[in-house]
Amino acid sequence: MDLAFLTKKVISLTEEVGEFIHGESKIFDREHIEYKGMHDMVSYVDKTAERDLVKGLSSILPEAGYITEEKTSTILADEYNWIIDPLDGTTNFIHGVPTFSISIALQRKDELVLGVVYEINRKECFSAWKDGGAYLNGKRISVSLASAVENTLLATGFPFYEFSKMEKYINVLRVLMQKCHGIRRIGSAAIDLAYVACGRFDGYFEYNLNSYDIAAGMVLVREAGGQVFDFKGGNNCFERREIIATNGKISTELLAVLGKEFDQ
């Protein structure tokens, strides 16, 4: 399979659907909000974008199945499956905060082999495929060179409906806030990971995530020279619903902080 060729096709599709989302962001009315759960919002924009992505991807790789956030397609295949978040950062979108993205990954069996994250308002398309490197609008990118947490800018996401681990999370923040240059909360896990891949952030951590939030970004970070773990330092991000992504040089420090709290 020509993953580089597939990636180009996916990029074109995300840019096309991104134009639809961008246009709707200018006229969106909050009366169209639906709730999937506490603070977990969705709209016709998410659902329409997802249907358009599935339709486009079906022509790119007809034999593949789909793992989608809004469940517009629930067909799974034996070998290849697309993992799709049609609008990562829905809360930002709804409130007019211009930071949201499309996230698409391709999984072969249990291995992630392709990832595309399109930051819609900045028109920045991050892409990567297995053993092919990572790119931003076609130019090669790599993780930062920071070798200690004290020299880093980190990113995270705040819990918004699962609060049972709140104290542990606050303890982690308390430690890291005093060590690093700062901690940012953008509101899109896909963008956080893309920013680690291109060196804007040196590390990122978050819990209570789904595969479609992080799959594409994981490919980006790894192909850009970084590392991805769960909070125990393992490779079970999907199952444990948590992630640490780093430039590879601060992994031990971040794992020590996260592991101390969340292994208890």
Which pLDDT score is estimated for 235?
A: 95
Which tokens sit at 25? 């962001």
**46 and 129 fall within a common domain:** yes
Task: For residue 53, give the H/E element and its range.
Answer: helix 44-60
128 and 165 part of one domain: no
pTM for the whole structure: 0.95
Q: How far is CA 253 from the centre of its chain?
A: 22
- CATH number of the domain within which 20 lies: 3.30.540.10
Identify the domain boundary among 89, 112, 141. Answer: 141
Q: Looking at the structure, do residues 11 and 125 belong to the same domain, yes or no? A: yes
Averaged over 24-53, what is the pLDDT? 82
Query: Does residue 161 surpass a pLDDT of 70?
Result: no
How far does Cα 227 stand from its chain's mean position?
14
Instruction: Kindly report the CATH number assigned to the domain that includes residue 175.
Output: 3.40.190.80
Give the domain range for residue 136.
3-141
Are residues 84 and 192 both part of a single domain?
no
Tell me, yes or no, whether 173 and 217 share the same domain. Answer: yes
Q: Are residues 131 and 179 in the same domain?
A: no
Q: How confident is the model at residue 3 (pLDDT cuts 50, 70, 90)?
A: very high
Residue 36: predicted pLDDT? 64
C-beta of residue 191 within 8 angstroms of C-beta of residue 102: no
122, 141, 160 - which closes a domain: 141
Instruction: Give how many domains the chain has, as a whole number.
Output: 2
- Of the ranges 1-15, 31-45, 148-162, 207-221, which one carries the lowest mean pLDDT score? 31-45
Of 81, 108, 141, which one is at a domain's C-terminal end?
141
pLDDT in tens, 211-229: 999 999 999 999 999 999 9
